[in-house]
Amino acid sequence: MDMAVLPIRITGEPVLHEPAQPVERIDDRIRRLVEDMYETMSAAPGVGLAAPQVGLPLRLFVFDWTDEDGQRHKGTAINPTLLISPPPLGEPDEDEDSEGCLSVPGERFALTRSTRALLRATNVGGGDYEREAEGWLARIFQHEFDHLDGILYVDRLAHTEQKAATKAIRKRSWGVPGQSWTPGIDHLEG
């Protein structure tokens, strides 16, 4: 199967800011989409990618992240639910909590996230699974799950970071519909 790198929508595109719809049937179209999403995520490169980011309002995301111990966490989450532990109190750490998003490319802002998450989802083979996550993987799940509800991480930032993000987005003339970038073709400065 030929895989394709898909254009990634940039903040301001309506599909990123609206709740996505459940996947009704895992057919060839969905299997193809998942393959293309892996290809796109790998080319970006990124550790997670949600269907709305490639323009499709579907409740589906992929992730591929290798932890500090070299263990790879890779999977497809179709129609997921996510349970999270209460988020820690206090200010986010500038280094430890610095998060990014392929739909706000080249920018990073610190955000406090819950440290534990339980993902329940269907894989591309149609099987249901459950996955407990801690730390950065829990963060990836929260970030990608938010995409399915039309929420970007920049929407969740605390005041100071929020201001910086709004400024950066305005400076790059984002925040309006119709913008995308394609990994391997468009090179965005970090």
Q: Which residues are known to be catalytic?
A: 144
| Minimum separation from the CB atom of position 126 to Zn ion (A) | 26
Nearest position to Zn ion, beta carbon: 101
Nearer of residues 10 and 101 to Zn ion, judged by Cβ? 101
| Minimum separation from the CB atom of position 139 to Zn ion (A) | 11
Nearer of residues 127 and 174 to Zn ion, judged by Cβ? 174
| Minimum separation from the CB atom of position 147 to Zn ion (A) | 6
Q: Which pairs from 151-160 meet CB under 8 Å and 24+ separation?
A: 152/11, 152/16, 152/17, 152/101, 152/103, 152/104, 153/99, 153/101, 153/104, 153/109, 153/111, 154/11, 154/101, 154/104, 154/107, 154/109, 156/111, 157/109, 157/110, 157/111, 158/91, 158/92, 158/111, 158/112
Nearer of residues 15 and 101 to Zn ion, judged by Cβ? 101
Nearer of residues 2 and 109 to Zn ion, judged by Cβ? 109
Residues that bind Zn ion (CB under 5 A): 101
- Strand-pairing partners, residue 83, are 118
| Minimum separation from the CB atom of position 128 to Zn ion (A) | 25
Of 119, 144, 124, 153, nearest to 46 by C-alpha is: 144
